[in-house]
A and B are shown apart, each in its own frame.
Chain A
Amino acid sequence: MWHDIIFWILAVLCVSCALCVVWQRNPVVSAVFLVGSFLALAGLYLNLSAPFLAAIQVIIYAGAIMVLFVFVMMLLDLHHPLDLYFRFTKLKFPKLIVLLLFSWFLCTLILATAFPLAAPQTSQGFTISQIATLLFSKYAFPFELTSLLLLIAMVGGVVLAKKK
């Protein structure tokens, strides 16, 4: 029962923070709401018995990526009058139709699939050692590729943002 209550609270929090992200005029306030959304998502991961992923989500997403976003926004001198909000968005009506169709499509697909009703009650989460064993045995190649990818991203970021 507690799982259900916590799910509803966190889900409402997540969706409202996400709505505030796309509805705010000021990008820094958007970033703060996005951090709130990520924290709610970390809580949902905990609800799904994935404590390792919840911690990783907070450390990497909320604690590093969003800090990078806020840094960039503070370093650039963004003039708000230039981003005149929704008024100058082109093709508003077709975009709205596409959005509604898309969301209807997704929800229909999900509700039409015959998922088993409740979680298997004896399901416990996966321990860190199980995840780590998988990472280093079955997924060792993607793991090494990811480290290469991060190196490329670091070098590329420095080169792109350097002043000539």
Chain B
Amino acid sequence: MTLLDFTILAAKVVLVMSVLLSTVPILVWVERRGSAFIQDRLGPNLVGPFGLLQPLADVVKFLFKEDPIPIAAHRFLFPLAPLCSLVPAAVTFAAIPFGDTIDLWGKTITLQIADINVGLLYIVAFGSLGIYGILLAGWSSNNKYSILGALRSSAQMISYEVALGASLIGPLMVYGTFSLREMVHLQASHWGILLQPVAFITFFISAFAECNRLPFDLPEGEAELVAGFHTEYGSMKFALFFMAEYLHMITISALTVTLFFGGWQLIPGLVPLAQWIGVATYPTSIGLSLLQVFSFTLKIGFFLWLFIWIRWTFPRFRYDQLMSFGWKILIPVALGNIFLTTLAIYLKWI
């Protein structure tokens, strides 16, 4: 591995991580203005035009606020828990392709940090490590509400992880590969959702439960458990949990787009528009790669807006409703989808 290869890899990592981490403040702003719009009120509009600098004010607040550590909290695990939540959420994005290739300096650079041949398994693996942050946070806080919230949240996340995995087997059988880059290449003619609509629905619902977002919000239910597992967490550590949740949302949206909506395949109608504007798009030019990244970003943006929209529209599931929905309805539907897909592949419908 030459020095140039290493530099390109490092540059890709730095670029992706900075884009991810700077999308979080934007998401915070979108959530607050979007929720205000849905609830027929104004959101933050004092700090900067349209309240755009509000996340910046939040960051300054988080940096300067006192970071309390309760006396009875576990000395080692209490500060470790936010890291255990943040690192898996950030690292999971490494396997997701955000563009095809770019030709620079004589090398063809694939727009993906790591083209792992078990990419889908890697994402499921590190997604399932996110539970530790919640469990350790709840237990080390030495607080009734924290531990109740942590136990509920992890029970929910484990149950819906099974549904998530089961719903991923359908697309796996159709595409025949674990590698995400291959999957996007195979969606050149028609997107995955035309072949696996049921899998998309189960996957998307499980994704909500995985990210602890409403309507599966009971673990951090504001009116129920003070603040659930992050009751005792103050400024910077709470900010890390917050960031971890938004990063998880972004990664799940990216995965949905990659599996079911064509990944970086161009949104139909984008090429004529680009040619009309004057961007060159003959094969593997920088213009085409930028268009692909732009399509990818637009699709992720749509799903992130969908996350926020659904959050502020639906009421919360009760805990027993949540668990029975996951085990008794979602998993059988996912298994039925596997059966149907097998039948379809065997009878050569797909």
Binding site for B on A (CB under 8 A): 2, 26, 28-29, 32, 35, 51-52, 55-56, 58-59, 62-64, 67, 70-71, 74-75, 127-128
Contact = CB atoms under 8 A, between A and B. Distances in A.
B10 to A, nearest CB: 16
B116 interface: yes
27 contacts: A2-B1, A26-B74, A29-B74, A29-B76, A29-B77, A32-B136, A35-B132, A52-B121, A55-B122, A55-B124, A58-B126, A59-B128, A62-B129, A63-B131, A64-B158, A67-B132, A67-B135, A67-B158, A70-B132, A70-B135, A70-B139, A71-B135, A71-B151, A71-B154, A74-B138, A74-B147, A74-B151
Given A29-B76, A74-B135, 13 more contacts: A28-B139, A32-B77, A32-B132, A32-B136, A51-B116, A55-B121, A55-B122, A59-B124, A63-B129, A71-B151, A71-B154, A74-B139, A74-B151
B324 interface: no
Contacts of B118: 51-52, 55, 128
B90 to A, nearest CB: 16
A52 B139 CA distance: 32
Interface in B289-315: none
B129 A58 contact: yes
Interface string B77-111: 10010000000000000000000000000000000
Given A51-B116, A51-B117, A28 B128 contact: no
B154 A67 contact: yes
B345 interface: no
A28 B77 contact: yes
What are the 5 tightest A-B residue pairs by CB atom distance, in nearest-first order?
A: A63-B128, A55-B121, A58-B125, A59-B125, A51-B118
A118 to B, nearest CB: 20
A75 B125 contact: no
B178 interface: yes
Interface of B: 1, 74, 76-77, 80, 116-118, 121-122, 124-126, 128-129, 131-132, 135-136, 138-139, 147, 150-151, 154, 158, 161, 178
A57 to B, nearest CB: 8
The B contact surface, by secondary structure, is helix
A71 B74 CA distance: 17
A59 B126 CA distance: 8
Contacts of B74: 26, 28-29
Nearest to A73: B139
A106 to B, nearest CB: 31
A82 to B, nearest CB: 18
Contact of B128 (A26, A64, A74): A64
A28 B147 CA distance: 14
Nearest to B127: A63
A73 B114 CA distance: 37
Nearest to A127: B117
Contacts of A35: 132
Residue of B124, B128, B150 ringed by the most chain A CB atoms within 10 A = B128
Nearest to A57: B125
A127 B116 CA distance: 12
B175 to A, nearest CB: 13
Nearest to B162: A64
Contacts of B158: 64, 67
Contact of B121 (A32, A59, A74, A75): A59
